[in-house]
A and B are shown apart, each in its own frame.
Chain A
Amino acid sequence: MLNERITDLIQADVDGELADHDRAELSRELLQSQEARKFRDDMIRINGLMASIPSLDPPAGLQHKIINAIKLPRRGPFSARTSGWPKFASYGLALAAGVVMGIGLAQVNPRETQDLSAVVGTMMSQPESQQGSAGKTLAVSLDYVQGNIKRSYLGQTVALEFDLKSVEPVEITVDLSGTGMRFGGFADQDPASGVEKFEVSDGKVHLLSRGNRQYVLFLRNEPEGSTRSQDIGISLAQQGTSIYQGQLDSGQ
Chain B
Amino acid sequence: MDRSRDHELILRCRRGDRQALGELIKEYERPVYNAAFRILGNPDDAADVTQTVFMKVFERIDQYNPEYKFFSWIYRIAINESINQRNRSKDLQPYEDEHAAAGSDPEDSIDAEKLSDIIQAGLMELQEDYRVVVVLRHFSEMSYHDISGILSIPEKTVKSRLYSARQLMKAQLVARGVM
Interface residues of A (CB under 8 A from B): 7-8, 11-12, 15, 17, 42-43, 45-47, 49-59, 62-63, 65-67, 69-70, 72-79, 143-144, 167-168, 193, 210-211
A72 touching B170 by the CB < 8 A rule?
no
B166 touching A43 by the CB < 8 A rule?
yes
Bound together, the chains give a CA A79 to CA B163 distance in angstroms of: 44
The interface residues of chain B lying within 8 Å CB-to-CB of A143 are 15
Take A47-B138, A52-B115, A73-B16 as given contacts and tell me if A67 and B22 are in contact as well, using a CB distance cutoff of 8 Å.
Answer: yes
The interface residues of chain B lying within 8 Å CB-to-CB of A43 are 166
B37 touching A56 by the CB < 8 A rule?
yes
Q: For this complex, into which size category does the number of interface residues on chain B fall?
A: 35 or more
Bound together, the chains give a CA A128 to CA B17 distance in angstroms of: 49
With beta carbons under 8 angstroms apart, the residue of B11, B116, B144 that contacts A167 is B11
Binds A, one of B43-51, B71-79, B84-92, B96-104: B43-51
B29 touching A51 by the CB < 8 A rule?
no
Bound together, the chains give a CA A46 to CA B123 distance in angstroms of: 12
A15 touching B25 by the CB < 8 A rule?
no
Q: Report the 5 A-B pairs with minimum CB-CB distance, sorted nearest first.
A: A77-B14, A50-B138, A58-B33, A72-B16, A66-B54
**Cβ contacts B49-88/A at 8 Å (1 or 0 each):** 0110011001001100111000000000000000000000
Take A49-B173, A73-B14 as given contacts and tell me if A58 and B66 are in contact as well, using a CB distance cutoff of 8 Å.
Answer: no
Q: For residues 130 through 145 of chain B, which have their beta carbon under 8 Å from a beta carbon of chain A?
A: 134, 137-139, 143-144
